[in-house]
Structure 1
Amino acid sequence: MKTLVFVGAFVQLLVPCSAVIKQCYYPDGSPSSDFPCDPNAKESACCGSGLGSTCLSNRLCQSNNGNIIRGSCSDKDWSSPACAPFCLGADTGGTDLISCSNVTNADNSFCCDHTNGCCDSGAGRFNVLPRDPDVFATWNNEASSYRVVGTVYTGNPTSTSSAPAKTTSTTAATTTSSAPTNTSPPNDSDQSSGLSNGAKIGIGVGVGVGVVLLAAIAFLVWKLRQRKASSMAVRIHPLSWTLEGRRTRI
């Protein structure tokens, strides 16, 4: 009888202890083996266990090898602001965040590890705030739980990533093309003197009239000379000899 009472009391002690350890979930609702960063909070971000693992003030996790991970959350629906709102489209499980600092020169610029070419293209890239997060909780090996040592960042945890500061050869360049210049050779008509048909006709008529006038003037001059020669011939009479041997004017 005493043994049964002892076992019952022991079970009652275990019930509240197990109630403290909250279940954590991934964005798709599947359970995870993570632990809440704040065991006493109603809702909390969750990270993996292990010596050297930490919860950051931006709700992300840092593993003992230094990787930044979006862990899980004690809110199964992930509607709580305590959950890390990053890389929610990843497959079941936590996901690593890939740093894009080599492209953006910002140490808080990240992409989800399942998004190919994100850092270079900027599609899906995001900034995590605060830029230099503090440690919020550290893993306690003896208690097998996290111990809160700081505060959670309460501002907007993310912002739109800016364009990459580093110029890469794969960046698509936007070029403005001007209208093509017509380099075809000009038509023969374009290479002419540029005179219109009317002008050409006028010149032809003028030349013809000029020729006629010159011919008429030449004819008049010739006629005048003929008349002058005839009149002079009438005035000058040659001398002739009469039969009597006298010189008379004919």
Structure 2
Amino acid sequence: MLDDVTISQPAAAPRLTRADGSPLRILVVDDEASLTDLLSMALRYEGWDVKSANGGQEALSTAREWKPDAMVLDVMMPDLDGLQVLGRLRQNNDDTPVLFLTAKDSVEDRVTGLTAGGDDYVTKPFSLEEVVARLRGLIRRSQISVSEAGDSRIVVGDLVLDEESYEVARAGRPIELTATEFELLRFLMRNPRRVLSKAQILDRVWSYDFGGKSSVVEIYISYLRKKIDAGETPMIHTVRGVGYVIKPTS
């Protein structure tokens, strides 16, 4: 329902495009046509190319054929719900950044969505400005950045992150990360031995004020630990009441 949406004039921001300068492709999925129309209008205002789908099956076929750069995906839909759609995308090695729209606001629901492979979420009621801001953050995190210094590698102990090839390895062991995990690890590794607060991480990695919902940081730190520290001496440490720090093991 449109009662779930607040309309406000978004602040001017640099236009985001694909690497070749063409418009970004955004797929909006919701079974309420009035809502998809409103979201599509707001996203086209950003200069993006937008398509919509009114159910899970249509979303999967459109994503397969059109190859969007990001998706806005409603959780509650009559045929396939958003979690099922995301699960099928990830099974097919589709790592398109996904922003969930949901009426649910419990910690368990948010954790379920993120654990399933979602990148972010907006709970209803929401503002169009918030959806645009979250999408911009997802897109920035999913794009590969090259170090201006010419050396694309960041090294902390036996952990190596290459900003140009988007590769991560520990002691020569390749590690697969999502776009958000990669950006979080990059921020930690660019600040070795420095304790970073949840607020600092939210501001740098998510590029948006989560309104105190810092549990997303804890979730993604746990993801990194499972991948980076599995079977190894831990490099990522919690400083209770302060934040997180990464440091070499020796």
- Which TM-score tier does this pair reach, normalised by the shorter chain? under 0.3
What TM-score results when the alignment is normalised by the length of structure 2? Answer: 0.20
More helix by share: 2
What TM-score results when the alignment is normalised by the length of structure 1? Answer: 0.20
**CA radius of gyration, larger in:** 1
